[in-house]
Amino acid sequence: MQKIGQDDPARALKALRLRGEYRNFAILRRDPGAPTQAGFYGYAGLSADADADMIAGRGEAAETAPRHLSVWCSNDYLGMSRHPAVLGAMKEALDRCGAGAGGTRNISGTNIYHVALEQELADLHGKEAALIFTSGYNANQAALGVLGRYLDKAIIFSDELNHASMIAGIRTSRAQCQVWRHNDLTHLRELLEGAPKDHARIIAFESVYSMDGDIGPITDVCDLADEFGAYVYLDEVHAVGMYGPQGAGVAAERSQAARVDIIQGTLGKAFGIQGGYIAGSRILIDLVRCFAADFIFSTALSPVLAAGALASIRHLRQSEAEREAQKYSVDLVKTTFKARSIPFIDHNSHIVPVIVKGAANCVAAARGLMSDWDIYVQPIVYPTVPRGVERLRLTPSPQHSPESVANLTRALTHVLSTSEERASAEVAHTG
């Protein structure tokens, strides 16, 4: 007997492809000596009607002859995943501890590297304690889920552009949520004024917003928090390692870190490894440690990853060279784009979004960069961003040379002028 709804998945996937929003994974092998270079082995998708010529990289033949690409969309912002100190620390930890953690933190999984990493993170942010997770997503979901549940009658005031992981944490908490317009302090004040005085208040927002590259009003939010007796929860995943003294983030750069109750960060972007964390007062961190299911029931981060993250953080705390080189690269890209009238959003951060409206057009532009110029940039479409503001999100790094910037500019100038034509052809083929 045919299952009820059996054809629904295929229809949904085909509609996604017709809108240009179906996601194929690019199969890459990043160059161990050059973070901005990668071997490309084709695309991996699971849709039954995926184009045959977009699926490749199977078997030994592909392994021996990849295409070589220049990568412009990595979140390994500073190239720390290839730093000798990081690789050396990971190799040593592998020899000392093996590959895996051996269990959850409660069941044999707490390692000396975990403890050292948490102490380093607490010190980096000037906090009493820190707690590491297997991802930044888990850190946000766990922390906001617990804080919203265990602070008395909590109301969480969430910026409307907060990351999906923060929204998931708020929903998990079942706390009342009030959404304030993005970076709109007047609206936030109105909501705070209207909240019952006997309810705990948590203001949750980000320092650097990853899609537009704009920066949250940290000082003003902390002022409002002081006025209304609210907790401040700040997501710094796109800022840690990148900004502030020793790479402690935008709150530290603006001398506001001490006013933030919980700082949430990641080990998987500027620090170049994997994992997430929170840092704050000992009692708040202990509350999350003891009540967050995401933490309690997850196998601990591999000690190899913890050792690499620890080495990366310690290096970036004493070295400004990577941040200075990255800023030079970002400034060069923006200056060059302005000279060639390439449309991008400039919010004075390291993220450079090039707007290509329409999912099909955006995907076509990315395909053109790949096929004609050997440049890899992932198209950003719905639901990551709203429809109508699709983009190519560029993240210049210290390893991008002036020559590669010039080549990227030439490539973008060409593909942006032909993306609509290419998109029409691809949609016609798909239909």
The set of catalytic residues is: 269
Other C-beta atoms within 10 Å of 15: how many? 11
Could you give the strand order of the β-sheet that contains 262-266, starting from the edge strand earlier in sequence? 129-133, 276-280, 262-266, 231-235, 201-206, 155-159, 176-180
Task: Count Cβ atoms within 10 A of the Cβ of residue 402 and give its class: 0-12 exposed, 13-18 middle, 19 or more buried.
Answer: exposed
**In this structure, which long-range contacts are made by residues 251-255, counting pairs with CB atoms below 8 Å and at least 24 apart in sequence?**
251/207, 251/218, 252/125, 252/126, 254/218, 254/219
CA distance 122 to 179: 29
CB 343 within 8 A of CB 391: no
Helix (H) or strand (E) holding 28, with range, is strand 25-31
Query: Which residue type is seen at 211?
Result: M
Would you say 136 and 268 are in contact if contact means Cβ atoms under 8 Å apart? Answer: yes
φ/ψ bin of 30: left (φ > 0), alpha (ψ from -120 to 50), beta (otherwise): beta
| Cα 377 from Cα 423, distance rounded (Å) | 16
